[in-house]
Structure 1
């Protein structure tokens, strides 16, 4: 590897959404920083298989109203 072109690789603490913590190595922040996750594999629907429809701003309601007559 060339000298002085790579980011610093150091230990940080990762805090999962359920409060569990572990140490890992990363280029994130400074040595000893804490990375608090908002989404992780224990709570995200992509990994848990529990899907929810989030209606932000009525988009799902508008879609259902617009295409309600297309059903067979």
Structure 2
């Protein structure tokens, strides 16, 4: 299972389902990656997932080419 943890810049965030969000991040070593953030559309994380914010991201997926989870 591929995974990494790194500081990232949020490029975009869009709602997915009832409470999730699909977030695209840019990192220095890993490049651009997208991932599902459970609860990302909720009021608690909405301010953090704004484009341009710098966050600590942990990404993991079953296969490297699949949409991962942030």
Q: Sort the TM-score into its range (normalised by shorter chain).
A: under 0.3
Larger RCO: 1 or 2 (CA < 8 Å, sep 6+): 2
Question: Whose strand proportion is higher, 1 or 2?
Answer: 2
Q: Which has the larger radius of gyration?
A: 1
**Structure 1 length normalisation: TM-score?**
0.25
